[in-house]
Structure 1
């Protein structure tokens, strides 16, 4: 099929390359000329394992192109809208300007029977509004909503072999046509047994925000338990193992630490609360305010722990932060707990050095006042405290004895509960972690 992908950020670039891999002819459209140039040269403008190879493979077939001109989307059968929906400045609500502009910009190039497929995460009710707009601007074109469920660090796999497809479509012949088109787009993964759910617009929009809200709630729940464990002397990791054996609960996402960040969970739960308020259902989501509050509290907690391990004050102390990205296998620093904590420590008088395998350039753009060092050993030199905040494999595998030879004081905060406490203590370290004695 001939496909266009509008918006070639994290979601769009992966989707475009993956659709070409599945055999479709794809053009990716983005307003950022520099990004388009990088993608057209087969280079990923952000770190995502497997994406550079996928870009090179797809472009070698001639089935993948990139452009800044929306007119190049003309002639495609299916148009995917993959633009961002960031949080509005000073508000909880989502900023839908980019989604609205993408649909409006596409309209002149649409023909009757074309399918416009929203993949962006939007507040419930957005699809119905856009469908009405399309009916006026491009009669005969059909809107569908097909939410994405990508995990950063696993996005290529999640696109080529997803765990489910959700189609939000209108009633009647238009919906039947949209389902048929999407089934053709996703024929390869569907043929291997990937489940497919066909629902209305509102349900499709809610699937992503509800899923993210549930995951955020689960993470904040175990971090709330960590607070109780810290007060009582219990071990939150053992607690998580025990309750995770209950198959109604499960062990995944029960890892206490400094909490979640990134470009999805924080802004999505806030936008969900804002939209519920607009719908008069705000009381249904009041619990998400506490989920958000618990998450932000853990960042302050790790700063407090670092201050304590340094003798009660961070003034003049050298602190090494291991990790800048919000999670490993990513260079995404949006709402990163690591950088948030690092900035708080610097405000309290510490000299903070941040290291990360992939995210330093992005981190510099967000917090230029911090010191950055790409080589882990150099970052550790003469530190009074080491704080692990992103669980990259190389940090999980640090040798306690070799690391001790580099620092001034052997103090470590394990902000992700991924190190072996006994090994570090045996090597002479003062070891602190989140919710463990």
Structure 2
């Protein structure tokens, strides 16, 4: 028997990342808020740092601004920016009023940059030293860091007016004499990025040059922040997932297991194209098969066949949407073993709603094309059942292949397309012929 979601408890020793996943995946949002409220501020801050933006917003949207400020005071600056970006404008401004003045200034500065720019993803917590600094003094500075800097393994070297001159690693420092200056041994060929560059370009540069930290500079080449390799990997994952979902005809914000209305909203608009294209193709097929404009029993079968392209277009789009969302969900850990059944049922419900919306739009149009609204209504009912079936088949293939230890991405493509298209058309033709006769 499945465990009641309300019975979930946070045990001692759970990693903050595991807690964040559990709050998002294993319990409903009301229970998640209760569990989060029971945490002390320090643990809550650690969980927020690991949570995605949707969970952060859901946990904090009804909280007192002063409580939110307590979390922001404990978070790193870049994590604090992520939290603020998930809040409403009014709540963000109120919370910043209670944050420590120095932290609030940095947060206001960083949130002023576009979210998908280098400035929007950088942190201002890094170590930089003057060219003339002695190695012994720099090592002392590193030892005195209390975990505030993004990394103590990469040190940036600047001149008297903070213009980036070079970079040196902690390993290289330890190999030098204590009285040597860092300017003598630094690497002057430092790779940097402008603050207004797109975050995808930032991620590509970090991965291309195998950097642990990428310095971000302003128009004067003055270093104002850094982006870490961890941040780059997150961008690659987010952008790759978004591109894959958009390619499949679903919003880049789609998540497996999200609320029904959000699921429908993220997918329904993309069905307008196959509906329109299918209706046009049906009209073309009607013309070339020379179907008379007066509907009679002996031409019903020809009329039904004329709408097969629309069935293929819609069922294919719905199937690809479902496959893309589920494959991504398994790949990034959104769907765990205990959630397979709930995700399956959620996707079936989405298929019912998407099929109904498509039928409501396509039914009158089909009736208008063939000159008989009763026949159009029957065809729309057959279309609805076909889309429900396709969505169920696609969900079963992806979830079943993952449960069997197969790669869902490999199986979902060719198998889903072949099985869903053939079965959807067969179901449409069979149901339509029975309803119209």
- Taking structure 1 as the reference length, the TM-score comes to 0.31
The structure carrying a bigger strand percent of its residues is: 1
Larger Rg: 2
The higher-RCO structure (CA 8 Å, 6+ apart) is 1
